[in-house]
Structure 1
Amino acid sequence: MGNLLESNGGTRATLILDHESSSVNLRQQLESSDWRVHVAEHMKEFKRLFQQHRFEVVVVYFNDNSLTEISELETLASHNIITKWVAIIPSDTWLDSHPNILFSHLFYDYHRQPLRYDHLLATIGHAYGMAKLQHQKLRRLKVQHKDDDIIGQSPVTQKLQQRVSVVSKQATPVLINGDSGSGKQFIARLLHKQSKSSHGKLSSINCGATPEHLVSSELFGHEAGSLHAGCELKVGQIQQCNNGTLLLNDVEELPLRVQSSLARFIDNQEFHPIGASNVSISNCRIIATSSNDLRQLVNTKQFRNELYQALTTTTIEVPTLSERHQDINHLAQYFVSQFCEHQEIKRFSQCALDAMQHYHWPGNVRELMNRIRRAIILSEGELISKSHLELPTNNGIQNLTLQDARDKVEKEVVVRTIAQTGYNHSQAAKELGISRTSLYRLISKHQIAL
């Protein structure tokens, strides 16, 4: 996976999921305001872009014919909880047949078609500002990497620890399988640190984020002038990691022709830099990660069987956080101690601990870490409460009527907007597109305590 915190060169950037080319006008208006706009017409492209870049704002168009699964979007969003999501829906009546949109905690705001672009652009701009501010605060809270061991004492974690201990003593290639955010890169660093080649270099390549025409050069290097006139000699990562380890993240994203070259290198440790007439040799250990079933990709001709066979000499399966739920409290306390190392130590309320135990964690350890980072910022005192974690919940949905659901969402939007505007009622009313009198009626209707 690409770096989720990779910026877009300082330019405001947004990602739009639009199945029916409905976003042409929005794209034009954003670009005229110096936004960089990426549009994905299908979910696969949307996932690829979201995982490769950091977008402060994402816009999702919903329509009558196709509805992207909310659960799929929520899982994707859990990998980067800073991003603000905006939903574009066809009409109010559309919600009658799609009430799950109302219950989703994913969306920062909703807009109905036909769109009022002045309101929509104001929402996107405000969302960008909120996300940017949160990101700046979170950057000050970084985990001090300690790759000594895997945090947790559950049976599944103990089994993983034993497996890592055995594999680290070997020199064979390793394939690490596991869901996104489960800690595959951490396991790879741990394998390198505990191996006999720990004194050598550890480097990594995000296969899905490296342009296809540059992947071979990045891996194997190239001779001067071999790619174009004037290009300089480049030593590839495989040679740089001689007597060390090269980590290939999302190995299934490698082009098929490069997969064949990599399989040959694993087989005999020989490779040809681009433009070279002589063979090169490197004692580089390959560790690859994947969130997909490579066997299935082999069956559908999307992954080379020879590379699959070479990588699966030794495998490690990383469990999801739900499978090691007994470790959640240990991990939470660890992250708090790391983030608060030079600040006031914070602690969790019992309700917060219980909520973390019962949440399903689609984004795994990464989501847990990110939510705790944000909770530390949101909590003013030493206590981190359940509300600071901002965990999505669907409790009581089955017992709500559609009107109850509308009221629930309406109240949440009003409360959130008032808080975001610093309890400035005039500004809150402006943000909501209503008069102050209407805002006061909503405050009274929903018995909002101010």
Structure 2
Amino acid sequence: MTPKILIIDDEKHMCWALERAMKQEGYQVLTANNGPDGLELLKQEGPSLVILDLRMPGMDGMEVLKCIKEIQPKLPVIILTAHGTIDSAIEAMKNGAIDYLTKPFDLDELKIVIKNALLLNQLATEVTFLRSELTKNYSIMIGKSPTIVEINQLIERVATTNATVLITGESGTGKEVAAVSIHQASPRCDNPFVTVNCAALPEQLLESELFGHEKGAFTGAITKKLGRFELAHKGTIFLDEIGDMPLSMQVKLLRVLQEKSFERVGGTETHKIDVRVIAATNRELTEAIRKGLFREDLYYRLNVIHIQLPPLRERKEDIPLLAEHFLEKLSHIYRVKKISSDAMEMICTYNWPGNIRELQNVIERAAIICEDEEILPFHLPPELQKPSKTVIGTVVRFPDEGISLEEVEKQLIMKALEKSKGNQTKAAQLLNITRSALLYRTQKYGISLMY
């Protein structure tokens, strides 16, 4: 689409000269000789850029600029004037002008300014579009189970605030999806969503990644680098795998959360930031605190709002919805259009130790190897086609044999802990309950966790 330029200048000869020059560059051109006419054209025609004279009778350029920014905040505006002063230039830039040229000006310079402004505006539009494309599928957590419905309601309530959120759950349960959902439903949705995997980088690199560094801060720092907190200004930063952050970094993160400021590595200047923090982990942070691996004060600072995501095996009714969702995303790439009832039954009865991530991989694998439009049982991995094995031997005896229901449950828990060598998460998986439910029952029955 050919860019459309609106020229607002009370000098008719200036309008004529600029219109001629802009048309030679291939632009569409609109002209107005006063502010009100220019604003009317702006509303009717939707130009790509405005060239605006600062000094005009009646409604002056500064007034027009403010009105333009109210109507179309991101529209680039270039100010022209024969009465340029430093103060007026500063005021124009504060009010949203992208550049300021004094008459008489170099026409070639104006052409370059216009070209750069249009390019930057186009890139900004593309970035906004791509960001919305990347996150539009995360508007809500998919599911109809009571737990997921409750989580979606909590996300809606939390999103409108700036409260720090801690998302916990097993690996693959959708913690990043929940974080993006919060960001997308928040007033910060048009600003950056920046992700940091705290477990993926060594301590020295993690500090530079989070806070940036100055040139010469360390060997290899040949230029200044902005950190993720700076890049997330006015938006949201998602600190994934926060439970794996080194203790020394936890101290620095705590200061950022408390003071909303930081210094780059090798720098002395304090930078203020406006960032919403969402953290996630699959670790039991209370256990890490007990072992001295995680700071208790940081935990309470992060845990303002807590969202616990359930494993997929505890929300079986959501499996068909998720499977269909992943299939729909793949339908424009592969021929496959549906999942047979037998295949869906296998998918629903499987235990999904890898949670939603494993389900997504299974659906994609089946779509790749399926040569028809329907996924059948033999397209699924072997582990889904085998009936589930009972992991723990039967210990049930009837009441007339002298054993109560509580004793049966106690024996099952003890066997699960023995089989998992004391690993509480694995024991909970064997019993098909959450870890917190396991801990509650061990306390109830006085079962030692030392195996």
> What interval of TM-score do these two structures reach, taking the shorter chain for normalisation?
0.5 to 0.7
**Given the alignment, which residue of 343, 354, 357 partners 1:366?**
357
Q: Relative to structure 2, which stretch is displaced further, 187-196 or 145-154?
A: 145-154
Counterpart Cα distance in 2 of 1:170 and 1:392 = 44
Asked whether 1:245 is paired with 2:236, we answer yes
Q: Residue in 2 aligned with 1:392? A: 383
**Given the alignment, which residue of 302, 308, 325 partners 1:334?**
325
Counterpart Cα distance in 2 of 1:383 and 1:326 = 21
Asked whether 1:356 is paired with 2:347, we answer yes
Change (3 A) 1:372 1:396: closer
Q: By how many angstroms is 1:264 displaced?
A: 1.0
Change (3 A) 1:195 1:145: closer
For structure 1, the 5+ residue unaligned runs are: 1-141, 399-450
Q: By how many angstroms is 1:153 displaced?
A: 1.3
Q: Residue in 2 aligned with 1:382? A: 373
**Residue 140 of structure 2 contacts residue 178 of structure 2 at CA under 8 Å; is this kept in 1?**
no
1:112-191, aligned counterparts within 5 Å? Answer: 146-191=137-182
Change (3 A) 1:315 1:292: same
**Given the alignment, which residue of 215, 224, 237 partners 1:224?**
215
**Given the alignment, which residue of 321, 334, 342 partners 2:312?**
321
Change (3 A) 1:381 1:267: same
Counterpart Cα distance in 2 of 1:396 and 1:155 = 26
Change (3 A) 1:358 1:222: same
**Letter in structure 1 aligned against 2:218:** L
Moved over 6 A (4+): none
1:202-281, aligned counterparts within 5 Å? Answer: 202-228=193-219, 231-281=222-272
SS of the residue 1:166 aligns to: helix
SS of the residue 2:279 aligns to: strand
Change (3 A) 1:311 1:302: same
Q: By how many angstroms is 1:322 displaced?
A: 1.1
Counterpart Cα distance in 2 of 1:322 and 1:204 = 27
Q: Relative to structure 2, which stretch is displaced further, 341-350 or 280-289?
A: 341-350
Counterpart Cα distance in 2 of 1:396 and 1:151 = 26
**Residue 176 of structure 1 contacts residue 290 of structure 1 at CA under 8 Å; is this kept in 2?**
yes
1:18-33, aligned counterparts within 5 Å? Answer: none
Q: By how many angstroms is 1:228 displaced?
A: 2.8
Q: By how many angstroms is 1:229 displaced?
A: 6.9
Deviations 1:310-354 (A, max 9, x none): 100111111111111101111111111110125434211111111
Change (3 A) 1:152 1:277: same
Change (3 A) 1:194 1:230: closer
Change (3 A) 1:264 1:396: closer
Q: Residue in 2 aligned with 1:120? A: none
**Letter in structure 2 aligned against 1:233:** K
Q: By how many angstroms is 1:180 displaced?
A: 0.4
Counterpart Cα distance in 1 of 2:219 and 2:134 = 42
**Residue 334 of structure 2 contacts residue 368 of structure 2 at CA under 8 Å; is this kept in 1?**
no
**Residue 143 of structure 1 contacts residue 338 of structure 1 at CA under 8 Å; is this kept in 2?**
no
Counterpart Cα distance in 1 of 2:191 and 2:388 = 55
Percent identical: 32
Change (3 A) 1:375 1:146: same
**Letter in structure 2 aligned against 1:330:** L
Q: By how many angstroms is 1:214 displaced?
A: 0.7
**Letter in structure 2 aligned against 1:249:** D
The number of equivalent residue pairs is 257
The two structures, once aligned, show a CA RMSD in angstroms of: 2.0
Counterpart Cα distance in 2 of 1:397 and 1:148 = 37
Counterpart Cα distance in 2 of 1:273 and 1:229 = 15
Identify which of structures 1 and 2 has the higher relative contact order when contacts are C-alpha pairs closer than 8 Å and 6+ apart: 1
SS of the residue 1:176 aligns to: strand
**Residue 207 of structure 1 contacts residue 254 of structure 1 at CA under 8 Å; is this kept in 2?**
yes
Deviations 1:25-58 (A, max 9, x none): xxxxxxxxxxxxxxxxxxxxxxxxxxxxxxxxxx
Counterpart Cα distance in 1 of 2:388 and 2:225 = 59
**Residue 144 of structure 1 contacts residue 338 of structure 1 at CA under 8 Å; is this kept in 2?**
no
For structure 2, the 5+ residue unaligned runs are: 1-132, 391-451
Counterpart Cα distance in 2 of 1:391 and 1:152 = 26
Deviations 1:116-165 (A, max 9, x none): xxxxxxxxxxxxxxxxxxxxxxxxxx999612222221211111111111
**Residue 335 of structure 2 contacts residue 371 of structure 2 at CA under 8 Å; is this kept in 1?**
no
Deviations 1:397-424 (A, max 9, x none): 68xxxxxxxxxxxxxxxxxxxxxxxxxx
Q: By how many angstroms is 1:298 displaced?
A: 0.8
**Given the alignment, which residue of 288, 309, 319 partners 1:297?**
288
Q: Residue in 2 aligned with 1:34? A: none
**Residue 371 of structure 1 contacts residue 389 of structure 1 at CA under 8 Å; is this kept in 2?**
yes
**Residue 339 of structure 2 contacts residue 376 of structure 2 at CA under 8 Å; is this kept in 1?**
yes
SS of the residue 1:392 aligns to: helix
Counterpart Cα distance in 2 of 1:296 and 1:360 = 26
Counterpart Cα distance in 1 of 2:383 and 2:208 = 44
Change (3 A) 1:277 1:342: closer
After TM superposition, the score normalised by the length of structure 1 is: 0.55
SS of the residue 1:217 aligns to: helix
Counterpart Cα distance in 2 of 1:276 and 1:396 = 58
Q: Residue in 1 aligned with 2:55? A: none
